Amino acid sequence: MSLRYDQDRKRIICRWEEPTKVVMNKKEGVISRSRMITVKVNDNGKLNSKDIRRHARHPMFPHINRFNQMLNTIDHPDGNGHKCAVCGLEQGVSPHFDMDRQSIVWLCREHLTESPKVDA
């Protein structure tokens, strides 16, 4: 699962894969299906009420809510003053939620799809 905040669209984007059973020509198999939820973040930092009603019962929603709470507590949520965890670039970085560490990791556009290898 990956969680990131898109500053341009002001949305938290949650992506994950789930196994899905498929049947073709009487043969069964399982594929990994990519799924996504996007939740709008208002100018005051709160999640959009329509999106809350729509996704509140979803098992990924607590992670989205936690990520939003963490974003509201940091300085410079627009990325200014933060560096990419992979290459150290300061321009165009966006916050991502690291599920293992339960913390925010900043990544540049080039490293959006990479898993950050940060020395702790």
Answer yes or no: is 116 within a domain: no
User: Of 109 and 51, which is predicted with more confidence?
Assistant: 51
Side chain identity, residue 48 = N
Q: Is the pLDDT of residue 65 over 90?
A: yes
Contact call for residues 36 and 1 (beta carbons, < 8 A): no
- Per the structure, the count of domains in the chain is 1
Domain span holding position 82: 2-111
Average pLDDT over the chain, rounded to whole? 85
Q: Report the pLDDT value the prediction gives residue 119, as an integer from 0 to 100.
A: 36
Contact call for residues 118 and 100 (beta carbons, < 8 A): no
Read off the pTM.
0.79
Q: Report the pLDDT value the prediction gives residue 117, as an integer from 0 to 100.
A: 42
Cα separation, 81 vs 114, whole angstroms = 21
Maximum Cα–Cα distance for the chain, whole Å? 56
Side chain identity, residue 69 = Q
